[in-house]
């Protein structure tokens, strides 16, 4: 905790410097100066709020940051979020999680795309390659850094990632973009958009291929197609339709088992979503949402040294319906409540034995309010009531936060919240047998994973300098973590899922933003984390699942004549969970992007040159993923 305290003192000193130093300018400050660093948060409570009114720490990654990042994978953008750990399980499997990187599927995070959960029941998590959207489709990403089951239910154990795509009216005309670079990187995007007075429609097709890591059998090709239609039926009714299609061909290996040979696999996913919003008044509306998600993976290989063919294929379907009512019964009170019904089905002979399908139906009832008790004090409260078929229990997840405005620019936040992660179908009903031998079996009912989290935060804005500072101190208690348990202490087969680990996390997170003018922008984030866990099995390693210290720095500079450049620096101390004793070291990654915007035959054109991992600093892990320097070029044309 010594490092944590030192960092807190340093940041406190920075506040004093910003508030006490003479002004950069003697001009009188306008209202815009005070509000310029107050982004609106859409996801924290399902209510539209200023960032300082949110009950938990929230990070917003906007379109400017996305363009300047030089990243081509969505998960990599989370490197800008303090406390997030981003790594690669293979060339096409990105692993990203908040505080604890213990698996590659964000199992304890709720990831939303336009309000729909992209959790895949047959995978027990999120597969970034199967989202059906590309970086070009995203308008902003909001990351709620802390438990938020009160708003979004199970799987919001550690936090929520809300990806918001661009409205169809923002992308009229034709856009074509290509990225080409080392390691067989090739990407292509084509977007068509148009519409009428009340209807806006766009369709995007994308292709990506990548050779993966040098020492791995993990290259991939993915084809994506998505469409969105926004229809304003009348003054009160708005309908939005979404559809995605995602087809990937991937190479798969296993660096830990020689019994699993290199083999190809196919992944196919489809989604359909419809939202209907009806405005009853300026402060009240109803929203109905339905979405269907289908996912399938074909994954067959011959077990090494045997005549056995293993088919690890899996298929899942999810249907979800939700109703939401937002209202303001009083001038100082905003509320939202709603209910939802979800049905998950998983088909997998390998993981679930001979059973053709397993089903889990769940129900949820939720409500949140934001109440201005006084002019300087805001109370946020929320609760989620959930009932799951497979656990046959009812779970309650409350949240309470008090935000106090010390001044017009300084806010203190204190919050407490709980959340759960309900067991997945494969965890609850696992039945894996190979050649007549039981590998994993169903050992009985599992209890949900639970978290109790406390947070103290400070959000300060310094209009004289067009800067802001967001601090967070947290302490979390996590119980009943689900992991594979062996038949005996020696770790022998067969395995079964069990609630066998507990963890306690605490730390400090900070974000500093500086925008002195419209040409220069600086975003800096830092996190210090400490985890103590029971780690019943040596392979779980929750204690080592996060670096102790990490930071990110993004500097965006616009020059004359349409030139722009960005410098992106990412650092983390040693990742003990992934490294062996002889390769433990910190890692620094620097990305550099240079670009120019100009008119070509009257059409907007962007050309950029990006270098990822500029210093070619290797990050070698037990997974044999060696991140080398990569250079690529990008050309983007827009025809209106």
Write the pLDDT tens digit of every residue in 335-394: 999 999 999 999 999 999 877 889 999 999 999 999 999 999 999 999 999 999 988 789
Query: CA 437 → CA 427, 497, 536, 592, distances in Å?
Result: 19, 17, 25, 52
Within a domain: 602: no
For residues 347 and 421, give the distance between their C-alpha atoms in angstroms, rounded to a whole number: 21
Question: Burial of 10 by CB count in 10 Å (0-12 exposed, 13-18 middle, 19+ buried)?
Answer: exposed
How many other CB atoms sit within 10 Å of the CB of residue 463?
Answer: 19
pLDDT digits (tens, 9 = 90+) for 282-294: 999 999 999 999 9
* pLDDT score at 393: 83
Answer whether 290's CB lies under 8 Å from 330's CB.
no
**Mean pLDDT, the chain, whole residue set:** 89
Answer whether 471's CB lies under 8 Å from 11's CB.
yes
Within a domain: 274: yes
Determine the structural domain holding residue 74 and report its residue range: 2-546
* pLDDT score at 491: 76
The structure tokens listed for 253 are 């290996």
How many other CB atoms sit within 10 Å of the CB of residue 152?
Answer: 25
* pLDDT score at 7: 45
SS3 64: helix
- Helix, strand, coil percent content, the chain, rounded in steps of 5: 10, 55, 30
The structure tokens listed for 412 are 């203190």
How many other CB atoms sit within 10 Å of the CB of residue 374?
Answer: 10
Answer whether 573's CB lies under 8 Å from 551's CB.
no
* pLDDT score at 75: 94
Q: Which residues of 398-436 are buried (b: 16+ CB within 10 A; e: fewer)?
A: ebbbbbebeeebbbbbebebbbbbbbbbbbbbbbbeeee
Within a domain: 473: yes
* pLDDT score at 292: 98
Pairing mode of beta strands 563-572, 377-388: unpaired
pLDDT digits (tens, 9 = 90+) for 391-407: 878 999 999 999 999 99
Is pLDDT at 113 greater than 70 in this prediction? yes
The structure tokens listed for 549 are 């210290």
For residues 637 and 605, give the distance between their C-alpha atoms in angstroms, rounded to a whole number: 5
Range with lowest mean pLDDT among 61-75, 304-318, 437-451, 621-635: 621-635
Task: Give the closest residue to 320 by CA, choosing from 289, 294, 345, 346.
Answer: 289
pLDDT digits (tens, 9 = 90+) for 27-52: 344 444 444 555 788 888 999 999 99
How many structural domains is the chain composed of? 1
In the DSSP assignment, the letter for residue 19 is: H
Answer whether 403's CB lies under 8 Å from 380's CB.
yes
pLDDT digits (tens, 9 = 90+) for 172-209: 999 999 999 998 999 999 999 999 999 999 999 999 99
Within a domain: 501: yes
Is pLDDT at 24 greater than 70 in this prediction? no
Answer whether 537's CB lies under 8 Å from 486's CB.
yes
Higher pLDDT, 586 or 126: 126
For residues 429 and 441, give the distance between their C-alpha atoms in angstroms, rounded to a whole number: 8
Residue 492's pLDDT band (cuts 50, 70, 90): confident
* pLDDT score at 9: 43
* pLDDT score at 583: 57
Answer whether 95's CB lies under 8 Å from 146's CB.
no
CA atoms within 13 A on the CB side of 562: 10
For 529-532, the CB contacts below 8 A with 24+ separation are 529/83, 529/99, 529/505, 530/1, 530/4, 530/505, 530/506, 531/99, 531/100, 531/503, 531/504, 531/505, 532/503, 532/504, 532/505
Query: CA 544 → CA 365, 410, 535, distances in Å?
Result: 36, 35, 10
For residues 292 and 290, give the distance between their C-alpha atoms in angstroms, rounded to a whole number: 7
Residue 235's pLDDT band (cuts 50, 70, 90): very high
640: which strand partners?
A: none
Within a domain: 640: no
* pLDDT score at 489: 72
In terms of residues, how long is the chain? 640
Task: Please state the pTM of the whole predicted model.
Answer: 0.92
pLDDT digits (tens, 9 = 90+) for 355-370: 788 999 999 999 999 9
Within a domain: 599: no
pLDDT digits (tens, 9 = 90+) for 293-327: 999 999 999 988 788 899 999 999 999 999 999 99
Pairing mode of beta strands 563-572, 220-232: unpaired
Task: Give the closest residue to 557 by CA, choosing from 597, 590, 511, 517.
Answer: 517
E strand or H helix that includes residue 429: helix 425-429
Within a domain: 635: no
Answer whether 551's CB lies under 8 Å from 494's CB.
no
Within a domain: 636: no
Residues 6 or more apart whose Cβ sits within 8 Å of residue 157: 108, 109, 147, 149, 419, 420, 421, 449, 451, 478
For residues 462 and 37, give the distance between their C-alpha atoms in angstroms, rounded to a whole number: 9
The structure tokens listed for 221 are 């090709």
* pLDDT score at 537: 72
Question: Burial of 47 by CB count in 10 Å (0-12 exposed, 13-18 middle, 19+ buried)?
Answer: buried
Q: For the chain, how long is the longest CA-to-CA vector?
A: 81
CATH assignment of the domain containing 217? 2.40.170.20
pLDDT digits (tens, 9 = 90+) for 545-585: 889 999 999 999 999 999 999 999 999 998 777 665 555 57
Answer whether 81's CB lies under 8 Å from 161's CB.
no
Residue 13's pLDDT band (cuts 50, 70, 90): very low
* pLDDT score at 31: 47
* pLDDT score at 173: 95
Answer whether 344's CB lies under 8 Å from 428's CB.
no
How many other CB atoms sit within 10 Å of the CB of residue 640?
Answer: 10
Is pLDDT at 228 greater than 70 in this prediction? yes
For residues 178 and 298, give the distance between their C-alpha atoms in angstroms, rounded to a whole number: 29
């Amino acid at each position: 905790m010594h490092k944590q305290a030192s960092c807190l003192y340093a940041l406190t000193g920075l506040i004093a410097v910003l508030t006490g130093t003479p002004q950069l300018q003697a001009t009188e400050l306008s209202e815009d100066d005070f509000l310029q660093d107050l982004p609106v948060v859409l996801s924290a409570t399902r209510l539209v709020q200023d960032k300082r009114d949110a009950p938990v720490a929230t990070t917003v990654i906007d379109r400017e940051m996305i363009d300047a990042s030089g990243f081509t994978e969505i998960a990599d953008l989370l490197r800008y979020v303090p406390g997030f750990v981003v790594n690669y399980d293979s060339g096409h499997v990105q692993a990203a999680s908040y505080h604890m990187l213990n698996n590659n599927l964000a199992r304890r995070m709720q990831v939303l795309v336009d309000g729909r959960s992209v959790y895949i029941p047959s995978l027990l998590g999120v597969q970034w390659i199967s989202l059906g959207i590309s970086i070009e489709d995203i308008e902003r990403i909001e990351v709620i850094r802390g438990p938020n089951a009160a708003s979004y239910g199970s799987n919001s154990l550690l936090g929520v990632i809300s990806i918001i795509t661009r409205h169809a009216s923002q992308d009229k005309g034709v856009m074509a973009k290509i990225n080409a670079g080392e390691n067989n990187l090739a990407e292509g995007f084509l977007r068509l958009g148009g519409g009428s007075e009340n209807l806006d429609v766009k369709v995007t097709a994308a292709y990506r291929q990548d050779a993966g890591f040098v020492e791995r059998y993990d290259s991939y090709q993915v084809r994506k197609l998505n469409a969105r239609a926004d229809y304003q039926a009348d003054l009160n009714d708005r309908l939005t339709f979404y559809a995605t299609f995602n087809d990937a061909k991937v190479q798969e290996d296993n660096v830990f088992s020689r019994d699993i040979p290199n083999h190809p696999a196919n992944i196919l996913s489809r989604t359909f979503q419809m939202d209907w919003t009806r405005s009853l008044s300026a402060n009240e509306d109803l929203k109905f949402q339905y979405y269907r998600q289908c996912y399938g993976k074909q994954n067959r290989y011959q077990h090494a040294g045997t005549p056995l063919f293993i088919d690890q294929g899996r298929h899942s379907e999810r249907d979800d319906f939700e109703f939401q009512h937002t209202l303001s019964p009083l001038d100082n009170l905003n509320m939202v409540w709603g209910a939802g019904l979800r049905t998950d089905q998983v088909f997998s002979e390998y993981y679930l034995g001979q059973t053709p399908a397993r089903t889990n139906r769940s129900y949820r009832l939720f409500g949140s309010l934001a109440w201005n008790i006084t002019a300087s004090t805001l109370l946020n409260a929320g609760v989620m009531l959930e009932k799951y078929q497979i656990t046959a229990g009812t779970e309650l997840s409350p949240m309470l936060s008090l935000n106090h405005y010390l001044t017009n620019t300084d806010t203190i936040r204190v919050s407490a919240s709980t959340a759960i992660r309900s067991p997945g179908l494969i965890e609850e009903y696992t039945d894996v047998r190979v050649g007549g031998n039981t590998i994993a079996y169903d050992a009985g009912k599992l209890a949900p994973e639970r978290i109790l989290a406390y947070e103290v935060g400070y959000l300060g804005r310094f209009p004289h300098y067009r800067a802001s500072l967001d601090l967070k101190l947290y302490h979390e208690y996590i119980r009943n973590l689900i992991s594979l348990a062996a038949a005996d202490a020696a770790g022998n087969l067969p395995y079964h899922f069990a609630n066998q680990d507990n963890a306690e996390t605490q730390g400090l997170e900070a974000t500093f933003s500086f925008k002195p003018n419209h040409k220069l922008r600086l975003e800096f984030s830092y996190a210090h984390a400490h985890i103590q866990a029971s780690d019943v099995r040596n392979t779980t390693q929750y204690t080592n699942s996060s670096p102790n210290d990490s930071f990110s720095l993004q500097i965006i500079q616009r020059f004359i004549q349409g030139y722009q450049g960005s410098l992106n620096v990412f650092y983390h101390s040693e990742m003990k969970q992934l490294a062996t004793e002889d390769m433990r070291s910190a890692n620094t990654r620097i990305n550099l992007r240079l670009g120019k915007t100009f008119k070509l035959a009257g059409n907007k054109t962007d050309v950029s040159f990006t270098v990822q991992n500029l210093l070619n600093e290797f990050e070698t892990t037990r997974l044999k993923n060696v991140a080398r320097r990569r250079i690529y070029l990008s050309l983007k044309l827009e025809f209106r």
